[in-house]
Structure 1
């Protein structure tokens, strides 16, 4: 029945938040109990070593596929990392990446997971990985899922299986969970949370509501759902889009005069302009915003997915590592661009040694790409706010966190839709601290007075 809002003095990307602080808002300290590990399902792979990582992995990693749509032969690929503390009792977090259709390697190697790429100039061959000491697996089991079908290594044998949307992909995630928990019953009693960022903010509350309804109907297996968390979530265009311009003004991207003209001529509606003056000023504003990185306004504006042919020497060295054919390599950013790690991920994920190590089925995904935006997807949820309200009314806890330099899902919009819930304030707007320094600001609200 409660919701926690965090504003971070960082980017709108999860890897800037020290993980233990986030999960401490969600779960109490738990007893240390040894895990039990039954025989794995046939499609699962226990991964002890990874190409590019020096030595055995210092954590338990399992990967695998779960069928979610029989007619189209759709299977979702997952990475499961056990908690490094007490996997038998620590929370279990399902993590989804936004996009839609961006690979969950984003979560594993750039946000909350125990791996990260060594950001060194790439000259062919296999990029290197190291351990991330800030991984959320320090205190939680994490199940990272390539969803919807077509993301990462998730696939469908029938091309029709890639034609999904908000509702069908959410239903497939629930099917995945039911089957995964059936194969991993030792985790059914663990506190279960759903988390993700960006566009996952649309579907996570929907998935949570589906799980909650299944619990009410005593559907098996009964999942121990406790709550959910969303980071810089896409929620409702009324808030996400309309608050971009006030945010851009607050950041100093647009002048007072331009902002005042927008307020006067657009009257607060920047999504569907109704007069020529509004259209003109929005054109000026869009041109100004296009000059910066909207994911983090202080970062360099870097290319992410524009195709570019790599040089022959790098290609030969890459192919010596038994790699797949390169058809869609991303543009090569400079090492100091925040997208450089994504560039390295492309070559690591398409290396045949990597694919063999994590158990990728042959003939299913010819080429891994970070965000598979070319496949059909139906955007069916105009607003996820009703689902947030339904879940919190049912008694589930929620954490919404935002970076204060993100213009894609601006914090002002997130704060506005949360305010529209009309919940009671339990803990007033205040600073929260890391190592004695203010790392952000938080607000704790509840449906009822506590």
Structure 2
């Protein structure tokens, strides 16, 4: 019996659920045979990541790691393996534009080790991939660790999403990214401990160049204070205009984009004027901020997951947080929600990012989409924010974020219609990355 006829037989017997059962055998073969044959995916409903429109009964033709064709109707090229998702909604692999994949485990900066973080991170990236996120931008992690993690995934050593990494975020002394905030000053650390702490344009330029040398893909900065960091004020601009200009100009000259953490209006507006590519959080943005962002094409990444994550801890167990953090979390989180819908209604370009802090296990990234829809963003627009828009902000629209010929075969599927129930994206049943199937029938496949 052929793969296609087998799929039809199971479909008649069991209906929609059978489509994923059929893929299990196919997917295991695809995973172990290293793209030995061409593959065609029969998609019942397709959200292709290029527009708000959906398509029915579509064939996606995959050769090696890329899509070579998207055709109406169910076709089967000679010799191709068929993955029958004819009862599913198929969409591009999702993209999380603000994550910290090294988070989780010990949160004690004096007792947690980089070795522990490395093991935790390998678990995190596998969970994120199996949640349907095939690309992730990590904005603020130990440089050597995230670069090694990215390269290990790219070489096939460990499973995980395609990583774009910033390494250490840049922040002034005492700012959101200073790891020594609220610590006994008698502790001594190497220069790497404060690699991301910059004071003055010269210091900032040197840090950007050092991060580039060490393999970072983009630069993350903290233009304002933050919520999870003790002792700083999220409403204040902490990197001055000269520092911001020096960072952006240097990064752009090296072909690197700049993502700016910014809660306060002063920090947001200054960062946008300096030319950053995205504002992360954007809590206290106002109409003028949105106007500036639209004029310059700056993205907003609202990170509602992180706000809710730390808010829940602040309300239920505030003693788990450093001094002042709980109060900030309770104050800021409602404003983050308001900013997300205001930016959306103002027409600001938006991309999805969770800013997972590690209070909850990694792999729950799609909760961000639920929170975005809850504040009033249309489900299809939220989906485009985690596919098309995210790819544009990454600068990789030619590779990811849509199901089109020439793109990587990064493809996920769910039961039901996520444009009607966005929570369905929290239960991805099928995951393909680069033409290789990692999850089928709702279960991760055995690793090679």
Verify same fold: TM over 0.5: no
TM-score by length of 2: 0.31
Larger relative contact order (C-alpha < 8 A, sep ≥ 6)? 1
TM-score by length of 1: 0.31
